[in-house]
Structure 1
């Protein structure tokens, strides 16, 4: 009965692929719950790895390119590794820096930090664009600091006046 419902191998009809899609959707939800909100809430490069790997791995189950149970187990291992690394990052600043990176100070009190900008592949135009989006102004007057955050966003810190 299970083989009739889900099929086997690559010779699947539309109903079997639909049934696999439903099963993989439920499995993916369970894996995301195991992984925690972090993997889809904060969206750091570390977290994107899990999302991409889960999508790539679980899609193979739907199309019958890989056996379902071993692929589901591989997906669970990916999620558990993510969870363990996240736990390790909470307890080790060194591991957090290694896995998540560090923020970069791009601008301070009227001066761009060219070295940090070059290392992060960020231009002055990128900083000005972020400033326009966040504050609606065309220049950096009143800006004290600009940081490239670990998740890739640019933060603008204005003078308090």
Structure 2
């Protein structure tokens, strides 16, 4: 047991070797925790997912630098991941919770009209919308566009008119 303390240290007076060993262990713990959250953390990211990722990084960093007890930090991180997973699962069947934690898409353009209120809400300009149309649809105007949405992930989706 004394060897573990020598290798990983205690408190904030850690050597470079101790901090490096802690970082390696935390890396694998973080990998396991992230895999438990599900694949959505690696692909589709909402503000809900991003918030959990930032918090997880901040909490685990405390274990690496010795600012908080190692085991308590890992336990807090695991609790954070379990709560994330629980809320994500419940929000699949509960639309209110889903909209609360993940948001909902906002219409930016429909029937030839830009929705100025939603553009302001998303901090987007007409130029931002046209840029996305150019990138995703390879055109420089809204002529053949039916609808444009700001998705829950922060991406803009463009729907072409059915001609």
TM-score greater than 0.5 by the shorter chain: yes
Moved more, 116-125 or 136-145: 116-125
1:95 aligns with 2:97: yes
Moved more, 21-30 or 108-117: 108-117
Residue in 1 that maps onto 2:57: 55
Residue in 2 that maps onto 1:107: 109
Residue in 2 that maps onto 1:77: 79
Kindly tell me the number of residue pairs found equivalent between the two proteins. 161
Aligned-partner Cα distance in 1 for 2:126–2:16? 52
Return the offset for 1:160.
2.5
Return the offset for 1:40.
2.5
Residue in 1 that maps onto 2:23: 21
Return the offset for 1:159.
1.4
Determine which of 136, 157, 160 is the counterpart of 1:158: 160
Aligned-partner Cα distance in 2 for 1:128–1:137? 9
Residue in 1 that maps onto 2:34: 32
Return the offset for 1:37.
1.3
1:130 aligns with 2:132: yes
What are structure 2's unaligned runs of at least 5 residues? none
Determine which of 47, 52, 65 is the counterpart of 1:45: 47
For residues 103-155 of structure 1, the C-alpha deviation after alignment (integer angstroms, 9 at most, x for no partner) is 01110131111122222222211111111111222111211110110111110
Aligned-partner Cα distance in 2 for 1:84–1:122? 33
RMSD of aligned Cα (Å): 1.1
Aligned-partner Cα distance in 2 for 1:81–1:62? 23
Moved more, 129-138 or 89-98: 129-138
